[in-house]
Amino acid sequence: MNKGKDAKPHVGIFGRRNNGKSSIINALAGQEVAIVSAMAGTTTDPVKKSIEIPGIGASVLVDTAGIDDTGELGVKRIARTRAIIKTIDLAVLVITNNMFGEYEKSLVDEFKSFDLPFFIIHNKSDVEPLSGIAREKITATEPCIIIDFSVVQPDAMAEVIQAIQRLVPESAYTTKSMLGDLLAPDDIVLLVTPIDSEAPEGRMILPQMQAVRDILDNHAVAILLRENQLRHYLKHAKPQPTLVITDSQAFGMVSKIIPRNIPLTSFSIMLAHHKGDFDNYLIGTPKIADLKDGDRVLILESCTHHVSCDDIGRVKIPNWMRKETGKRLEFDTVAGLDNLPRDIHEYALVVQCGGCMITRKQIAGRLRPAVEAGIPVTNYGMAIAWLHGIYERSVAPFLSLEKN
């Protein structure tokens, strides 16, 4: 299997203040990447550090604020700590002094609610080793790995690495091909890549480059051109492309040019099938037709970026949706993995971006509250295709795979 750029396991480090979470991060990283202090509450917000873990490769460690933080700011820090749980692939719960109380139990309950694997590090064992009584008490109710550890005497570091290797799901660092099931060697894939105000200066956007690499990995041929070159290319191209992938914003124009016998989709729909909640997107996208005056739509971006007048999520999708539905709709946009501005039940629809910068687990965690609440979910490309009247055609290449 090929590794994708997003295929980095995310390992979250949790526990009370002053339990040595940051020290463990530094020990794992082999350098001082997290601030260490004897003062409780030094880590105020989740801090990420990319490292290499033997047997897994590039990974991300997430240092979190103490689960027992206090005060008004402490409550906010705890909320951010808990929000991390739905975005990671493995949790490490750090305890000291043989203490496993309500704070720890509440974290474990949340780990379980997200089917998140975890293990426990009993830190500062040079001060107070893990007792047999404490180990038996914990494992009696929470069967799990418990490692007695000290950053002063890190003899158990190999055991920690082994636990990470054993518990991180393989799906967190290996990904299947995005297009391989659709392609045969020497097939021609035509990538229509508009260059507009949102295109990064001097380079391609990430989904386009991911598609190129995936096509080449499958021994097929990738041809890139701009939308205004499409007619000329098709007039002279022999053989015709096996598949055409376009930017969602050009869907309307490109669909009129590409003959119906040539499969057509978008980069965003490609990502939706590859690592999004594709089945729920298929159910949720047609629900756009059911929107009513006054309904509120949530737009979920996965990264922060400069907002332009042509912004796809903040400008174009809302405008297209209002125009095509004829309804007076309200929109909220959330960038990155920030908290929602209001309760999920206040939304009639959730629209997730392609998610090129985040993992499948993070997308699933982001959408889970909406799915559990019965709120329709879709993604940028599938919503745009529906709004332009080419939804069935755009998802058809992947529907055949779903049936097999």
Average pLDDT over residues 297-301: 95
Angle between helices 391-403 and 380-387 (to 10 degrees): 130
Instruction: Assign 375 to helix, strand or coil.
Output: coil
Neighbours of 332 (CB within 10 A): 14
CA atoms of 280 and 399, how far apart (whole Å): 13
Answer whether residue 90 shows pLDDT above 70. Answer: yes
Q: In what order do the strands lie in the sheet with 47-53?
A: 47-53, 57-63, 10-15, 90-95, 118-122, 146-148
Structure tokens at 30: 């082999």
Model confidence pLDDT, tens digit, residues 127-166? 999 999 999 999 998 899 999 999 888 789 999 999 999 9
Bridge partners (DSSP) of residue 48 are 62
Answer whether residue 2 shows pLDDT above 70. Answer: no
Name which residue leads in pLDDT, 337 or 169.
Answer: 169
Answer whether residue 73 shows pLDDT above 90. Answer: no
What the chain holds in terms of domains, given with CATH numbers, is 10-172 (3.40.50.300), 180-271 (3.40.50.11420), 281-387 (3.40.50.11410)
Contact 46, 63 (CB under 8 A): yes
Output the CA–CA distances (angstroms, integers) from residue 241 to 16, 224, 271, in the order listed.
Answer: 57, 12, 20
Neighbours of 289 (CB within 10 A): 9
Name which residue leads in pLDDT, 119 or 41.
Answer: 119
Question: 148: number of CA atoms within 13 Å, CB side?
Answer: 12
Answer whether residue 274 shows pLDDT above 70. Answer: yes
Contact 320, 355 (CB under 8 A): no
Number of residues written out for the chain? 404
CA atoms of 49 and 175, how far apart (whole Å): 22
Straight-line distance from the first to the last Cα atom of the chain, in angstroms, rounded to the nearest whole number: 20
| pTM score of the predicted model | 0.74
pLDDT score recorded for residue 6? 47
